[in-house]
Structure 1
């Protein structure tokens, strides 16, 4: 059974404007209002509650992430909820929230074995202290932290880092001009750009990814989705929209190939503040119901 967890964290994002906070913390309830939880209930899913974050502080300083202590605390609590869900045989679907949620998933899975990661994102999220002097917002650095290329305070929580081995990671969806594309391509097991998905088709990309992460030596794989993988014309309600992304049909097809064999998934970075008429929320409900409805069913 799919178990939906609301994780309304905005802790890993920079403020959109001075004295404001990112709106993606409102995403779980906006998607609930648009029918997401009802659609999944029709598919047999249950509501597994909410893991609340601490209050956004914007307290970054040199050598320290914005909201660092709060992110670590939330990651531990989210890991605990994911572990509880998996212990009773259910499949977690975490509705966020920003990409820093990947650390909570990584903590839970690393404590349970060796898992792969499918990182579907319009950006590589691979900024880290080794390639940038401006590290501060974990939502743009989550993949680097997840494989151990960040400050130990975030990349080695409770001595469990790296949460995923680089060779066990597939990234898909970044744009051709992504600043860290070359480094990521040389580091993780597989990298597929958005332009390749558009050229070759989502089913082909999904099959390539599944071959890379669904291997006998792994205990399964986690599915991370940042909805800015969608083209900005399709999904403008995100922190960093950009052209060159895939369309809704591509994303639904890609998820449908990957979801059945996944041990869980998370959905991140939808910002209801940028969706005043609810159009983007309704579109996401359709994509997620179509693409993730079989989450974990083939395991």
Structure 2
């Protein structure tokens, strides 16, 4: 059974302007208002509550992330809740929040076995201390942290890093001019640009991804979704909108092809502050219910949403 878990964090993002904070912490409730939780509940999904994040403080210093202590504490608590849902036979869908949530996912899964990560994102999020002197915002560095390419304080919490084996990790959705594209191609199992998804189609792309993460020796795979994988004309309500991304139907098709054999998913970076009339929230409700509605059904035999 699908269990929706709210994780309203904005801790991994830089301030949108001085003295302000990112709006992604409002995303779970904005999506609830737009009907997301009701649509899932109609098909039998559970509301698994909320894991609240600490206070946002713009406190980055050299060698240390902005909100680092709060991110680590939130990751630990999120990991415990994900592990509880999975121990009860559930398939978590974590509604964030920003991309730093992947650390909590990794902390939950790493002690339980060998799991793959499918990183669906408009950016590679691979800024790290080896390629940049500007590390500070984990939401732009989350994939690097997930595969052990960041400071140990965030990439090796409790000695569990890397949370995902690089060989079992796929990134899909970055633009052709992504600054870390070449490095990511060399570092992880498979990298697929948004332009390739558009050219090849959702079904073929999903097949390539599953060949990497759904194979003997891997206990399952998790879906990371940053909604900025969508084109800026489709989803401008994100912190870094960009052209060259997917349209809603393409993303829905990709998710629908991957979700049935996924053990869980999280959704990030939608910012209600950039969506005053809620139109993009309503679009995401359609994408997520149609795309993730059959999460885990090929693993458990459940009927899905």
SS in 2 for 1:284: helix
- TM-score with structure 2 length normalisation? 0.98
Q: What is the CA distance between 1:202 and its match in structure 2?
A: 1.2
How far apart, in 1, do the equivalents of 2:28 and 2:259 lie? 20
Match of 1:125 in 2: 125
How far apart, in 2, do the equivalents of 1:56 and 1:130 lie? 26
How far apart, in 2, do the equivalents of 1:177 and 1:292 lie? 29
CA deviation profile, 1:153-204 (whole Å, cap 9, x unmatched): 0000000000000000010000000000000011111111000011111111
Match of 1:169 in 2: 169
Q: What is the CA distance between 1:22 and its match in structure 2?
A: 0.1
How far apart, in 2, do the equivalents of 1:111 and 1:244 lie? 37
Q: What is the CA distance between 1:115 and its match in structure 2?
A: 0.3
SS in 1 for 2:114: coil
Q: What is the CA distance between 1:116 and its match in structure 2?
A: 0.3
Match of 1:245 in 2: 245
Q: What is the CA distance between 1:111 and its match in structure 2?
A: 1.1
Match of 1:159 in 2: 159
How far apart, in 1, do the equivalents of 2:43 and 2:291 lie? 12
The 5-angstrom pairing of residues 106-121 of structure 1 reads: 106-121=106-121
Q: What is the CA distance between 1:43 and its match in structure 2?
A: 1.7
How far apart, in 2, do the equivalents of 1:131 and 1:44 lie? 45
1:84 aligns with 2:99: no
Q: What is the CA distance between 1:98 and its match in structure 2?
A: 0.0
Runs of 4+, deviation exceeding 3 Å = none
Q: Could you say what the CA RMSD is over the residues aligned between the two structures, in angstroms?
A: 0.4
The 5-angstrom pairing of residues 1-299 of structure 1 reads: 1-299=1-299
CA deviation profile, 1:119-174 (whole Å, cap 9, x unmatched): 00000000000000000000000000000000000000000000000000010000
How far apart, in 2, do the equivalents of 1:165 and 1:43 lie? 34
How far apart, in 2, do the equivalents of 1:135 and 1:118 lie? 23
Q: What is the CA distance between 1:2 and its match in structure 2?
A: 0.3
How far apart, in 1, do the equivalents of 2:150 and 2:178 lie? 19
CA deviation profile, 1:248-293 (whole Å, cap 9, x unmatched): 0000000001001001000000000000111100000000010000
CA deviation profile, 1:24-44 (whole Å, cap 9, x unmatched): 000000000000000001121
Q: What is the CA distance between 1:211 and its match in structure 2?
A: 1.2
How far apart, in 2, do the equivalents of 1:216 and 1:261 lie? 14
Q: What is the CA distance between 1:206 and its match in structure 2?
A: 0.9
Q: What is the CA distance between 1:210 and its match in structure 2?
A: 1.0
- TM-score with structure 1 length normalisation? 1.00
CA deviation profile, 1:206-230 (whole Å, cap 9, x unmatched): 1110111001101100100000000
Q: What is the CA distance between 1:231 and its match in structure 2?
A: 0.1
How far apart, in 1, do the equivalents of 2:119 and 2:152 lie? 21
Unpaired runs of at least 5, structure 1: none
CA deviation profile, 1:37-77 (whole Å, cap 9, x unmatched): 00001121000000000000111000000000000000000
